[in-house]
Amino acid sequence: MKPVMRWCLKQSLLPPVLLLWMMAVGLIFKATLGWLPWLALFAFYTLSITPVATVLNKGLEWYGALDSDACAEADAIVILGGGLPRFTPEYQGYQPTALSLERVRYGATVHRICGVPLLTSGGGARSEAATMAEVLHTDYGIQARWQEKESLTTWQNALYSHDMLSRELGKDDLRIILVTHSWHMPRSVLSFQKMGFEVIPAPTIFTWSEVPWKKLRYWMPRTRNLRSSEIALHEYLGLFWYWLSDRLNIKN
């Protein structure tokens, strides 16, 4: 499936596009599905409040913070890109997205703790890997040893990173420290393990330690909560697809 088609299909299955579809269908078929817009409105509210967004994200935090003792004998630190770089006039060039910058920052910390060489992973016309490596060098004084510039999905991150590291290091039994967001880690670990990596998860940016609910403001809808819920639902959808692909023996 082409990237544009995959993106359109994915967005149609997630809020807010899915909720708009529900409203439209309910209005068109009002006689039989007149309840659908109300369901969409209820879903819009629940996905936009802090307690629900927090619960959805906490459900993806399968892995705790990195234990420095786990660094031993790792072959590489792999930092996953978090979105295609954008041109920024204030920097007069391309910069990583906010998600990528959060991963780069923690990747630099892990590198200083573990002393393991870095690989940045992510493609695009202006590759995520290159822009992340540039920030590592200019902002943290760290040189990424490898840049995997072809991948456009998490699955491809794993596939192309394994191809590169096995070729560069001359072996297939690779042990890596994987850096990405806590909510992205479950699907990332599954992808990299499927390619044959032994994975040491190094997640960053965790949600609240407890679900916030005691203050009125937590029950007011906010766009950032809707975005957080969308990200979490995207990951759940991805995990379901991985499970279904495995059951149906879909190779790619």
Q: For 1-26, what is each residue's pLDDT tens digit?
A: 677 888 888 899 999 999 999 999 99
Domain of residue 144, residue span: 68-204
Give per-residue pLDDT as tens, 160-201.
999 999 999 999 999 999 999 999 999 999 999 999 999 999
Total count of domains within the chain? 2
Q: pTM for this one?
A: 0.94
- Indicate which CATH number applies to the domain containing 112: 3.40.50.620
Same domain, residue pair 171 and 75: yes
| Residue % of the chain over a pLDDT of 90 | 88
In a domain, 79, yes or no: yes
Does one domain contain both 12 and 121?
no
Residue 12 in domain? yes
- Are 84 and 194 contained in the same domain? yes
Query: Do 97 and 174 fall within a single domain?
Result: yes
154-160: average pLDDT? 98
Element spanning 25, H or E: helix 17-28
Per the CB < 8 A criterion, the answer to whether 118 and 185 are in contact is: no
Within-domain flag for 98: yes
Are residues 126 and 54 located together in one domain of the fold? no
Mean pLDDT of 93-118: 97
Let me know whether 184 and 89 are in one domain: yes
Task: Specify if 213 maps to a domain.
Answer: no
Q: What is the mean pLDDT of residues 107-127?
A: 97
Task: Please check whether residues 236 and 185 belong to one and the same domain.
Answer: no
Same domain, 31 and 10: yes
User: What is the rounded average pLDDT of the residues 215-234?
Assistant: 97
What average pLDDT does range 130-152 have in this prediction? 98
Is 89 inside any structural domain? Answer: yes
Do 77 and 25 belong together in one domain?
Answer: no
Looking at the structure, do residues 199 and 75 belong to the same domain, yes or no?
Answer: yes
**230 and 105 assigned to the same domain:** no
pLDDT above 70: residue 36: yes
